[in-house]
Amino acid sequence: MEMRISRFKLFTLLYLLFLSLILLTSCGSAGLLEPERNVTLSAGVTVYIDEIPLVTLPEGSVVERIDLSLSSKIKSLYQSGRLIVFFGTASSPTPFPEEGYASARLEALQQMAQFIHSRVQSVETKLNTTISTLIEDQNTKSEAFAVTQSVLKKTEKLFVDVRIYGGREIVWYRYHKTGELPRYGVVILYDPYEAYLALMSNTDFRAAFEEARQKLPADLSKELETGLEETLGLQE
């Protein structure tokens, strides 16, 4: 009897190992985990990527896809204390999930824009205090206020217009409560480094930023550069 149980356990372990190898091979080739059978999560279950806790989804959520190609980026951001994700959810009265996911994505991007807005306000206050402290001449002070505010407002506008955001969709999920329309969710990873590169690749913004730096004294020019990095989350 003990021998039979031992062989059964051995067979079970070998079978599970075989399935695991198939799953790892399929995920590594495409970079996306798309379960053949949708994974339903109970309340409070956290989604991990490379052993890093990423998100906790609502009760009964069904995970449609997970982008595993960003594992190294997620790990790097997590280790540097800059791992930030944004959620978006939306219901759709149509039978087409694509519409629900598109609306959820927009909501997540709006949350990202709000994040940048709050940081712009904080940085603007700090820069205004610095300008008031360092510059005595009223005309020079007014010009410094104008050029720094212009750069920060341009930064915010690009995020609000969803032209630059440094974000990547990493988790797609859905859930359905009795008596309600199905809801679709998208989780977006925010990468401040990618956001900075995208911002500086925008010709109009780069020109305005360089012009502002030329108009400011050297110390304030450096403060503006630091302020931009703080706005994007590269510095605290």
Over the stretch 74-84, which tens digit does the pLDDT of each residue have? 999 999 999 99
**What is the arithmetic mean of pLDDT over 70-77?**
92
pLDDT at 21 over 60: no
Specify whether the CB–CB gap between 89 and 171 falls below 8 A: no
How far apart CA 7 and CA 106 sit, in angstroms, is 53
Domain range annotation of the chain: 1-30, 32-232
Half-sphere exposure of 36 (CA within 13 A, CB side): 4
The bridge status of strand 32-33 relative to strand 183-190 is unpaired
- Using DSSP, state whether 93 is helix, strand or coil: coil
Of 63-67, 110-114, 157-161, 204-208, least confident by mean pLDDT is 157-161
What is the reported pLDDT for 18? 37
Core vs surface per residue 82-98: b (16+ CB within 10 A) or e: bbebbbbbbebeeeeee
Is 152:124 a contact under the CB 8 Å cutoff?
yes
- Which one has a higher pLDDT value, 164 or 58? 58
Phi then psi dihedrals of residue 110, to 5 deg: -65, -35
Instruction: State how far the Cα of 159 lies from the Cα of 117, in Å rounded to an integer.
Output: 9
